[in-house]
Chain A
Amino acid sequence: MGTYLNMLPVTAASVIVTAGLYLAEKKTPFGTWKPRVRQWICGVIFGILAICGTEFGADAEGITLNVSTAPPLCAGLIFGAPAGIISGVIGGVERYFATFWGAGYYGRFAGTFSILFAGLAAAGMRRFMFDDKKPAWYYGLFGGIIAEVVDMLILLLSRIDDIRSAFHMVEFGTLPLVLMNGATVMFALLAVSAIGKPARKKKKNREQLAHAFQKWLLVCVTLAFLATGVFTFWIEDGISRSQNESVLRLNLFDVQKDIEEASDKNLLEIARRVKDWMEQKETDKDMDFRDMADVASSFGVAEVDIIDERGIITASNRDGVIGYDMAASEQSAAFLVLLNGEQEYVQRYQPSGQDSSIYRKYAGIALEEGGFLQVGYDAERFQADIDEQVSYAANNRHVGEKGYVIICDEDWTVVSDTHDHKGRDLSDTGYRLDEDNTPQLSAFEAEVCGQDSLCMYLKSEGYYIIAVLPEKEAVFARDVSIYLSIFMEIIIFTVLFILIYILTRNLIVDNIHKINRSLTLITKGNLDVEVDVRSNEEFASLADGINSTVHTLKCYIKEAEARIDKELALARDIQRSALPSVFPPYPGRSEFDIWAGMRPAKEVGGDFYDFYMLGENRLVFLVADVSGKGIPAAMFMMTAKTQIKSLTETGISVEEVLTEANEQLCANNDAGMFVTAWMGILDLETGKVEYGNAGHNPPLLRRADGSYEYLKSRSGLVLAGMEGIRYRKNELTLRAGDVIYLYTDGVTEATNAGKELYGEERLINRLDQIPAENPEAICRGVMRDVDDFVGDAPQFDDITMLCLKYRGCGAEITVDAAMDQIDRVLRFVDGQLKAAECPPKTAAQIDMAVDEILSNIIRYAYGDGSGKATVRVEITQQPSAVLTFIDRGSPFNPLEKEDPDVTIPAKERQIGGLGIFLVKNTMDEVDYEYREGANRLRIVKKWQ
C-alpha cells in the first residue's frame, strides 16, 4: 500500500496537469495558438512529468518504481501525436542520462526504451487508430498497462544474464507499475471527457460498426489472452514440475548408487576376507555348522554359506538351510552366475529368498574347487561400515542450486544433511516422513528446514534418501517463463488487436463509409455518382452492383421521363388547342380587339381563358384559375371550360351561367378542386358588359381617356366550392377605346429570386406605360416585364391574361337621302379610312363604292318621298373596311339585278346598272339583308 502511496504524487500530477491543459485549450486563448506551438508546449510539460516520474520513484523491496511512461501516453493520446513524441523523447533521453545522478543503472535501457515507446505508441495510436481524437478511457488503461509490460519485458530480456535480480524486480514491480500507469492514463482520460463535452450524446442509437468491432475485438483478444495465459501457466507448471521431479529423482538415484557401491564394496571385501581366511585354515570342504558359525561371528556377518557345483547349500552357519537349492528363489538364483564362470557377485539389500521377512545383503565369490561362498549381512552391520561414505555422498550433493539431500537410517536418525542435523532425528528438520502414505520417487510438497520445498525420497540399503528442492527455486524457472510468455502474449495480442483493427478499418469500415458517402449523394438525386471502391473483390462487386442498379434506375427514369414528357407534351397540345389561339380571332369584326395567352408553370396548367361569339352581337370572355397545378388542374379546367361554354351557349345570362356551372362542378368534384372565374358578356353594339365574378381577382379597366383602375365588384364564392351558391350580375358599359385587362394571380404573384412578388402596383404602373392601342402588345408588354422581374427564378404558377379593347360599334353617319349629301358622306368615310391608314387606291375604290351605292339609295329608295340614309364604317383587324348602308326605303336588293353586258360596243351600250356591277367587282364582299325595316347593304374591302 505504501508503494502505491509513494507513486501517487506523480500519478496525480499527471492527471491534474492533463485536466488543466485541456481546460486551458478549451476555455482560454491558449486554444487559439498555433497547433504546432501547443503541441510543443504539451510535449515539454509531459516530458517534464516523465522526468519527475523517473526522479521521484517509489522504493519498495529494494527496487525503485517509476511512473514515467504515463505522461507521454497522456500527451500523445489526449493532446496529439507530436506532443506524445516530444514528451517521450524528453523523458526517454533524461532516463538514459539519469543514471549519472542516481537513477538505477539496472533498468536504464528498459526505462529509456519504454518511455520512448510510450510516446511513440501513443502518437501512433492516436494518429492511426483513433482518427486524431482522444480515445475512450479503457484504451488509456490498456495503453498504460502495455507500456509497463513493455518496460518489464525489456528489463527481463536486457538482463537475461542476471535473470534472478531482473526477475526479482519484475516480480515485485510489475503489479504496482502496471496498475499505477494504467490508472494514471485512465483517470486522465476520464477527467478530460468529464470536462470536455458532457452534453455530447450520440444521437445515433446504433453503434458504429468500427466501435462495435473495436469492442468485440477487445473482448475476444482479452479472452484469448486469458485462455492462452492459463494454458501457458498449465504447460509451464507441468514442464517445471516434471523437470523438478527428474532433478530430484536423478539426485536420489545418484546417492543410492553411491551408497550401494559403498556397501557392495564393503561386503565383497568381507566375503573375500572370509574366503581367504577359510583357505588359510585349509579346512575341508565339509565344514559343519559350528565351524560356519564361528566364521560368521568372527567376521561379524549374519550368514555364511558354501554352495556346491550343483547350487545346493552344503554348509551354513544357519540351521535348516543345508540342502537348499539356490535356484529355488529369484533372489538366491541370481547367485548361480558364479557357477558359470563369474568370480564375484554382490546383491543389493533386499528380502532373503529363503525367508522374505529377513532383509539382507548378500555377496558371493566363486571357489577354486567349484561351488561358491556366499556371505550375507544385515543393515546395522554394513551401515556401521559405510556411514561415513554415505554422509560424504550426501554432503557433496546439490539438488539444483539450493536444494540438498537428507539421508537417515531406518530409525530416522539423520546420517547426512547440509543443515547440521546429523545424528539427530529427522523430525528435527521440521519434517516427518510418513512412509506408508508417501510412495517412493514421487514428488511431494513439505516444509523442510523452514522452507516450503518440493521433496522426493527413496529407500536404499536400509537408508532413506530424501531430496529436497526449495519451492522458490522449484518455481523460479516456471515463473520466469510464465512472466515472459505472458508479457509476450500481451504485446503480441495488442499488436494483433491494433493490426486487425487497422486492417478492418482500412479494408471494411473505410470502404463502407466511402460507399455510404456515394449513396448519400445518389439518394440526394445525383445519379451520376459512381461508387468506386476497388480495394477487394467483395467491395468491388458491391460497388459494381450499386453502380449497375443506379445505372438501370437512371435508364428507367430516363425512359419514364421520356414517356411522361411525351404524354405531357400531348396533354399540353390538347390543352392549348382547347383555348382559342388564333389571333385575330374575328378578323371581320371591327368592334373589338382581343388577345389572350396562358403560360403554364408545368407542361399543363390549371388556368384558362376563353372567348367566343354569342350570336352576331355578343362576345363572351372569361379568365379562370383552377386550384392546383399540373394534370389534375388541367383536367378540371377542361371540364369547367366546357361546362361554362355549353351553359353560356344556351343563352342564359352570366349570373345563371355561373350558378349553374357551380352546381354541375360541385356534383362531380371528388378531388375537392375549385375554380375562380371572371366572366363577361359584351354587347358589341351597345358596349354593355354583363359580368359575374366567382372568387377571381378583379380585372383592370382603362377608360379611353384615363388610366387603369381595378374593376371592383362584389365577388361570389369560387366555383365548385359549395353547392347552392347564387351568383350576382354586374353591369358596365364600355365606350369606344376602353380596354379591359383580365389576369390570374400568376401575374401578380410571380416571384423573383429575392422572394419578392410582382404585385398589383407594379402591374398597374406597367400597364399605364404601354400604349393602350393593341391588346396583344399590352399582354406581351406585361409578360415581358414579368419575365424581366422574375429573372432566373422558376415559375410557380400558371400565368394567364386576356385583354379586350372595345372599339365601339364603328363610326356612322346618317344623312338625308339627297345628292348634295354624298360629298359629306364621302368626307366622313375618307376620314375614317385615312385614320385606318387605308392605301389611297383602296380608299378611292371604297369612295367609288360609296358613291355608287349612296346615289342608288338617293335615287330609288324613297321613290318620290324623302328619307334618311346611314353609312356605318368599321375598320377591322384584317385590315379591312366594313361599310354598311342602311335605308328605310322600300325593300330592294340591288345585288339581284342582272349584271350588264360589258362586251358590247359603245353605240349599243345602255348606261345604267354599271354602278352595282362595279361595286361587286371591286369590293371583296357585298351582301344585302333586309332587317328590322331597313335595307342593309354591307361591303367589305380588305387591304394589305
Chain B
Amino acid sequence: MNIKKTKTGNELTIALSGRLDTSTAPLLEQELQNCLTGVESLIFDLASLEYISSAGLRVLLYAQKVMSRQGKMTVRGANDMIMEVFDITGFVDILTIE
C-alpha cells in the first residue's frame, strides 16, 4: 500500500493505493496518529485502493472519530467493492462519502 499525503493549509488529502488490509492497516493508523494534528478537513482519496478489509475499516473509523472532534472527514473515489463493504457494514451512514 502506498500512502500519499498532500497538505494544503489545514486540509489534508491522503491518497491510498493498493490494499488496505490487516497487514497495511497498522501503517496507515501510525501515519494518521502523526499527522492529524491541526487538520480540520481530512480527505481520503480511495480511487486507487483495490480493497479494504475490516482492519482498514477500523482505521477509517478511528480517523472518523478523531476528525469528528476537530473538523470533518470525507471519503471519495471508492470503487464498487469498497462501496459494497461500506454498505454491508453500515459505514455509509458513518462516513461522508463523495
Contacts and interface: CB of A to CB of B under 8 A. Distances in A.
Contacts of B93: 903, 905
A845 interface: yes
Interface in A880-903: 901-903
Contacts of A911: 57-58, 61-62
Contact of B81 (A826, A841, A905, A909): A841
B51 A848 contact: yes
Given A844-B51, A907-B65, A914-B54, A823 B88 contact: no
B31 interface: no
Interface in B56-78: 57-58, 61-62, 64-65, 68
Interface stretch (A194-202, A401-409, A804-812, A916-924): A916-924
Contacts of A826: 19
Closest 3 CB pairs of A and B: A902-B90, A915-B54, A855-B22
Nearest to B57: A914
27 contacts: A820-B23, A822-B23, A823-B23, A841-B80, A841-B81, A844-B81, A845-B84, A851-B22, A851-B23, A852-B54, A855-B22, A855-B55, A901-B90, A902-B90, A904-B90, A905-B94, A906-B68, A906-B94, A911-B57, A912-B58, A914-B54, A914-B57, A915-B54, A915-B55, A917-B88, A917-B89, A922-B84
A822 B94 contact: no
Nearest to A919: B54
Contact of A918 (B22, B68, B88, B94): B88
B61 A918 contact: no
B53 interface: yes
A709 interface: no
Contacts of B52: 848
A902 to B, nearest CB: 3
B79 to A, nearest CB: 8
Contact of A847 (B19, B54, B90): B19
Interface of A: 819-820, 822-823, 826, 840-841, 844-845, 847-848, 851-852, 854-855, 901-907, 909, 911-912, 914-915, 917-918, 921-922
A904 B19 CA distance: 26
B90 A845 contact: no
B53 A915 contact: yes
A906 B85 contact: no
Interface-centre pick from A840, A852, A902, A906 (highest chain B CB count, 10 A): A906
Interface string B19-56: 10111000000000000000000000000001111110
Contacts of A906: 61, 64-65, 68, 94
Contacts of A823: 23
A822 B88 contact: no
Interface-centre pick from B50, B61, B65, B90 (highest chain A CB count, 10 A): B90
A902 B90 CA distance: 5
B68 A822 contact: no
A84 B4 CA distance: 125
Nearest to A903: B90
A193 B90 CA distance: 117
A848 B94 contact: no
Q: Chain A binding site: helix, strand, loop or mixed by DSSP? A: helix
A547 B94 CA distance: 93
A907 B61 CA distance: 9
B21 A822 contact: yes
Contacts of A917: 54, 88-89
A285 B23 CA distance: 210
Nearest to B59: A911
A918 B81 CA distance: 12
Contacts of A915: 53-55
Interface-centre pick from A854, A914, A918, A922 (highest chain B CB count, 10 A): A914
Nearest to B67: A906
Contacts of A854: 22
B88 A902 contact: yes
A618 B89 CA distance: 40
Contacts of A918: 53-54, 85, 88-89
A822 B80 contact: no
B86 to A, nearest CB: 10
A850 to B, nearest CB: 9
Contact of B88 (A841, A852, A907, A921): A921
B75 to A, nearest CB: 12
Nearest to A854: B22
A893 to B, nearest CB: 18
A909 B54 CA distance: 13
A376 B63 CA distance: 202
A302 to B, nearest CB: 182
A465 B95 CA distance: 177
A847 B68 contact: no
A905 B68 CA distance: 12
Interface-centre pick from B62, B79, B89, B91 (highest chain A CB count, 10 A): B89
A914 B50 CA distance: 19
Contacts of B53: 848, 851-852, 855, 915, 918
A909 B61 contact: yes
A624 B89 CA distance: 55
A382 B69 CA distance: 206
Given A822-B22, A907-B68, 10 more contacts: A822-B23, A844-B51, A845-B84, A847-B51, A851-B22, A855-B53, A902-B90, A903-B93, A922-B84, A922-B88
Nearest to B95: A906
A346 to B, nearest CB: 173
Nearest to B51: A844
Contacts of A914: 54, 57-58, 89
Contacts of A845: 51, 81, 84
A34 to B, nearest CB: 97
Contacts of A855: 22, 53, 55
B63 to A, nearest CB: 10
Contacts of A912: 58
Contacts of B57: 911, 914
B89 A902 contact: yes
Nearest to A907: B65
A909 B94 contact: yes
A854 B93 CA distance: 28
Nearest to A842: B81
Contacts of B65: 906-907
